[in-house]
Structure 1
Amino acid sequence: MPHLKRPAIRLTLTALLLAGVAVLASPGTADAQVTAYKQAVAEASYGEDGVAAFYRKNGYQPVWTGEGAEFTARRIALIEALSMADVHGLPAGRYDINGLKAQMAAARTTRDMGLVEVALSREFARFARDLQTGLLTPSQIDDGMVRVVERRGAEAYLSELQAAEPGRYMRMLAPNTSQYRALLKLKLDLEQALATGGWGPTVAGGKLAPGDGGPRVVALRNRLIAMGFMDRSAVASYDGTLQKAVQAFQLAHGLEADGVAGDGTLDEINKSVADRLKSVIVALERERWLPRDRGERHILVNQTDFTAKIVDHGRVTFETRSVIGKNVSDRRSPEFSDEMEHMVINPSWYVPRSIITKEYLPKLRANPNAVRHLEITDSRGRQVNRGAVDFSQFSSRSFPFAMRQPPGKSNALGLVKFMFPNKYNIYLHDTPQKDLFAREVRAYSHGCIRLAQPFEFAYALLALQEADPKSFFHNVLNTGRETKVDLERHVPVHIIYRTAVVDDRGQAGYRRDVYGRDAKIWEALSRAGVVLTAVQG
């Protein structure tokens, strides 16, 4: 993790946290004290399944309130970790640090110590889960965020803590990924920029291009300097240096890198530090939702970036442009993880029921010879004679047929599709609509992910199992027959949605919130108590 500054608290904590730990050894019958302590722990943890289960299994022995250095170390590590919650974009007010301190300081009896014990465990378990796998539940925010988060219970966290060095364990709860660490550093940089007034005045509207001059060019120059895209300069004209800076900004933000500051580019340049900071905090939460084991080789599709990548051992080894679902209610691409199992070369397109009834049935009612490129088949897969069917008698519910487009260059799936069977019927595939990949915003599909370079994507996947993957692929392709090719090693697929990213060179970049999902996440985080913080450098 990057070095992040926060006020020192250890000196004030140590005396406080050491206070009262000898209560269990105070006058009275030892057995009676132990019984009272265990009873207090059992009562306090009742109804908290994970916490209660842990204490039942360990015989109601203390984790935090025992006597000795290991217990002191755990208490100090927990309070210090809770005090850093806002560094991770978590709501500081969610964890009652002051309440815990007061409860520890006020403990006078064996029963009090049992109550303190459970209070610390509850707060620890909540914080551990929030930091490791996120504060929010994705599907409760947006119905397209169908990702299932691998949440763990209090029992697991408490058991692990007992066997670990507490300070190190608290630090290891956050995702141990280069992206998460880079986002933490970016968050701190933005908080420092917020504390010093941001990136200066915005640039007034209207395109700016090489050769222009005047106050608006000066404002553009100053803003790019403040954001780190060019060195300090007193030049007031749109010269080659400024053009290169604009291009660098465009590349970092997924824009067409033409070096012209048009309306779209200026909209992004004028985004405030606060807006970018919100994106980073949302990205931290999203990073916590992903599986901790992404796979040594995995496929990463970032919807907002319109890209699909193959990542090997943390390094991008292949990247291509993609098209995602159109921004309408039934077409937006969902977010989830799965495993790619096979590819189909020369695929047929089996038209989804929703497309048949919404798009094609009305056309067939008007003209039975409509959409002739599609075969209509019955429940046994036999082709139906269109002329013998009165399509006007069918509703969207009663339509009894399926529709299929045979393999071929004009097939809606192109010449290859990549399968990771899932209940959402989402996969990656080729497309005959190559012109879409030249556009800056590429949200046009029915939900599946279309690839600009599907053949090269296939070669990269087959390289692990074929001596000559390109020849193998084309030998199958040239048969014209629909052919399933299994991947000997399944490849995890992560379809994500990230508007704040940091590349391998440490360059921060931002993307448009295509579906408005990040705005919803920020609203939910804000309701939970997350706030923007300005931090002095």
Structure 2
Amino acid sequence: MTKPFRRPLAVLAALMLMWLGFAAPAQAQLAPFTQAVAEAAASDEVIASYYRDRSYSTLFTGPQDEVRRHALLSALALAGTHGLPVQRYDAAALTAAYRAALTEGDRGRLEVRMTKALLDYARDLQTGALVPSEIDPGIKREVPVHDRHANLVAFETGNPVAFLRGLAPTATAYPQLMKAKLDLEAQIASGGWGAAVPSGALKPGQDGPAVVALRDRLIRMGYLHRTATAIYDADMQKAVQAFQLAHGLTADGVAGTGTIEQINIGPEARWQSVVVAMERERWMNIDRGHRHIWVNLTDFTAKIIDDGKVTFTSRSVIGKNAADRRSPEFSDMMEFMVINPSWSVPRSITTREYLPMMQRNPNAAGHLKLIDRAGRVVSRASVDFTRYTAANFPFAMRQAPSSGNALGLVKFMFPNPYNIYLHDTPSKSLFANEVRDFSHGCIRLGSPFDFAYALLARQTDDPKGLFEQHLNGGGESRLDLAAPVPVHLVYFTAFPGAKGQMNYRRDVYGRDALIFDALSEAGVVLGGVQG
């Protein structure tokens, strides 16, 4: 008969203690806080379960939580230095809410707000504020999302300051980009790089107002020491060459129209490139491999990186800037190379390019064989091409191995859903162009044999001999890499050089513009200052 009275007696005892001036039991005090936390976290199961498992003990708003609270608010206050949307976390609003909290309900709701801010900040800094695939269909990048519950536990149980500092990408380029961002913001605040240089070409030996404008802008940009010369002298020529090298231009020291166009791009536009590059670095906050292949589409190069150092570089040709031909961005593992490859023409190219040609002239593209569904070669004379459309064309096309094969004499394979690979090409003249977007999407290499030797040097004392053994056989052959190599197809229009100096490239596909628009919509602003 005593059980029904236990709960009322406990309540009466608590009320008696309060009436006598004693503190109420902890459970009675925490009830409104617990209820507020449970209600505020109801829509987020990770946060809700986290607090349930901890019996609703505080992480930020208790008197013992000062270190964690201060660490979070300090980090959020500096979120703008990372080019993040600071309003998403709003340290100032959280600070004001903490000072204004009057009730346990206020404190419970603030507790959940701060936890959400922590998780949002951790996600954005670890893996980016945007979802790449939502920006452009050519960005196939898989973002390495971190476990939210694990982040909460790591923050609670470890050093909160160290945890927050460790969220940013570990790539050496990231702090260099952050410094470039801050430097550009300072330059913008102090008036930028001065007046634009009048359009037209300028050459060594010239003088006049346009040369003075060029001189002044190069000085403001840091490429030329202070000088009063009004002549396009040797020092100015060297400065122009340095600028050209840092911007992917032909480094002839002549300020032609293309160079002047790039010189006249202001610090605000360069700032946007840097902010986007920081977001891209967050998307790639992964182990890239002690040895990896780095194909920067905007730089038109393919590089082998060994322990952070470039050990091989080749010029490249990337996909044409057209809807169905742009090279995608993704990472994979290069597993083997095919020497003396045949070319199986992709169906999109067969039906869009070659079928109309053969409808006009059945013998067009005679270097390609017509293949039926059984794999047999079909005589073109037996086919009425006018009967078919892109939807019902029943044949494939293939080019036999040869030096004139569209893939050249070697292709480098990292099997992927997009049918993208690196390869040789008979069209060598294209590598002399400054802007090299000509392919159907795959990456053509200017020095494919040397690239092969560099890859094979890890598994044989005679890489050239091993390669030529396969090459001289004449037929198609596969040569596996003893250790697969990570390959990263990336798109950075801003990146630090070997000595930390910033490099900039053209936004060939317009992807960076889309990313910056999305970042701006999310709340990223110049200097990280909110209006």
Is TM > 0.5 for Structure 1 vs Structure 2?
A: yes
Question: In 1, distance between residues paired with 2:389 and 2:469?
Answer: 44
**Most deviating of 256-265 and 56-65:** 56-65
CA deviations on 1:411-444 (whole Å, 9 max, x unpaired) are 1011111111111111111100000000000000
SS at match of 1:206: coil
CA deviations on 1:175-200 (whole Å, 9 max, x unpaired) are 12210110011111111111111111
Equivalent residue number for residue 336 of structure 2: 342
Cα distance, 1:152 vs. partner? 2.4
Equivalent residue number for residue 416 of structure 1: 410
Cα distance, 1:301 vs. partner? 0.8
Using the aligned pairs only, state the percent identity: 57
Give the 4+ runs in structure 1 shifted more than 4 A.
none
Equivalent residue number for residue 26 of structure 2: 30
SS at match of 2:116: helix
Given candidates 527, 530, 533, the residue that maps to 2:524 is 530
| 2:242 is equivalent to residue 232 of structure 1 | no
Cα distance, 1:407 vs. partner? 0.8
Contact preservation (8 Å) 1:53, 1:155:
no
Contact preservation (8 Å) 1:194, 1:534:
no
Equivalent residue number for residue 73 of structure 1: 67
Contact preservation (8 Å) 1:229, 1:245:
yes
Given candidates 273, 278, 290, the residue that maps to 2:272 is 278
Equivalent residue number for residue 380 of structure 2: 386
Question: In 1, distance between residues paired with 2:52 and 2:398?
Answer: 59
Equivalent residue number for residue 41 of structure 2: 45
Whichever residue aligns with residue 327 of structure 1, its letter is N
CA deviations on 1:91-110 (whole Å, 9 max, x unpaired) are 22222223322332233444
Contact preservation (8 Å) 1:192, 1:534:
no
Question: In 1, distance between residues paired with 2:227 and 2:458?
Answer: 50
Whichever residue aligns with residue 72 of structure 1, its letter is E
Contact preservation (8 Å) 2:122, 2:167:
yes
Contact preservation (8 Å) 2:331, 2:486:
yes
CA deviations on 1:44-66 (whole Å, 9 max, x unpaired) are 21121322233344443332234
Contact preservation (8 Å) 1:321, 1:453:
yes
Equivalent residue number for residue 426 of structure 2: 432
CA deviations on 1:303-343 (whole Å, 9 max, x unpaired) are 11101111111111111110001111110111111111111
Equivalent residue number for residue 461 of structure 2: 467
Whichever residue aligns with residue 225 of structure 2, its letter is D
Equivalent residue number for residue 22 of structure 1: none
SS at match of 2:398: strand
SS at match of 1:473: helix
Q: Kindly tell me: are residues 393 and 57 of structure 1, through their superposed partners in 2, closer, same or farther at Cα, counting changes over 3 Å?
A: farther
CA deviations on 1:22-75 (whole Å, 9 max, x unpaired) are xxxx9322233345544432222112132223334444333223442xx21110
Equivalent residue number for residue 254 of structure 1: 248
Stretches of structure 1 that go unaligned for 5 or more consecutive residues are 1-25
Given candidates 496, 502, 509, the residue that maps to 1:502 is 496
Structure of greater Rg: 2
Q: Kindly tell me: are residues 534 and 67 of structure 1, through their superposed partners in 2, closer, same or farther at Cα, counting changes over 3 Å?
A: closer
Contact preservation (8 Å) 1:88, 1:184:
yes
**Most deviating of 159-168 and 50-59:** 50-59
Question: In 1, distance between residues paired with 2:290 and 2:39?
Answer: 45
Question: In 1, distance between residues paired with 2:145 and 2:528?
Answer: 31
SS at match of 1:343: strand
Whichever residue aligns with residue 419 of structure 2, its letter is N
Whichever residue aligns with residue 470 of structure 2, its letter is V
Contact preservation (8 Å) 2:80, 2:528:
no
Equivalent residue number for residue 17 of structure 1: none
Equivalent residue number for residue 440 of structure 2: 446
Cα distance, 1:391 vs. partner? 1.6
| 2:107 is equivalent to residue 113 of structure 1 | yes
SS at match of 2:527: coil
Cα distance, 1:392 vs. partner? 1.5
Question: In 2, distance between residues paired with 1:534 and 1:210?
Answer: 41
Whichever residue aligns with residue 232 of structure 1, its letter is R
Q: Kindly tell me: are residues 379 and 221 of structure 1, through their superposed partners in 2, closer, same or farther at Cα, counting changes over 3 Å?
A: same
**Most deviating of 99-108 and 214-223:** 99-108
Q: With structure 1 as the length reference, what TM-score do the two structures score?
A: 0.92
| 2:200 is equivalent to residue 179 of structure 1 | no
SS at match of 1:119: helix
CA deviations on 1:119-175 (whole Å, 9 max, x unpaired) are 111011011111111111112111211212112242121111122211111111111
Equivalent residue number for residue 306 of structure 2: 312
Given candidates 228, 241, 250, the residue that maps to 2:235 is 241
Whichever residue aligns with residue 249 of structure 2, its letter is L
Given candidates 80, 84, 89, the residue that maps to 2:78 is 84
Query: What are the residue-to-residue correspondences of 1:180-195 with 2, within 5 Å?
Result: 180-195=174-189
Contact preservation (8 Å) 1:195, 1:534:
no
SS at match of 1:436: helix
Stretches of structure 2 that go unaligned for 5 or more consecutive residues are 1-21
Q: Kindly tell me: are residues 514 and 353 of structure 1, through their superposed partners in 2, closer, same or farther at Cα, counting changes over 3 Å?
A: same
CA deviations on 1:391-414 (whole Å, 9 max, x unpaired) are 211111111111111111001011
Cα distance, 1:493 vs. partner? 1.2
Contact preservation (8 Å) 2:126, 2:285:
no
Whichever residue aligns with residue 47 of structure 1, its letter is S
Equivalent residue number for residue 490 of structure 1: 484
Whichever residue aligns with residue 110 of structure 2, its letter is V
Q: Kindly tell me: are residues 484 and 219 of structure 1, through their superposed partners in 2, closer, same or farther at Cα, counting changes over 3 Å?
A: same
Q: Kindly tell me: are residues 488 and 110 of structure 1, through their superposed partners in 2, closer, same or farther at Cα, counting changes over 3 Å?
A: same
Pairwise CA RMSD = 1.6
Aligned length: 508
Question: In 1, distance between residues paired with 2:29 and 2:372?
Answer: 77
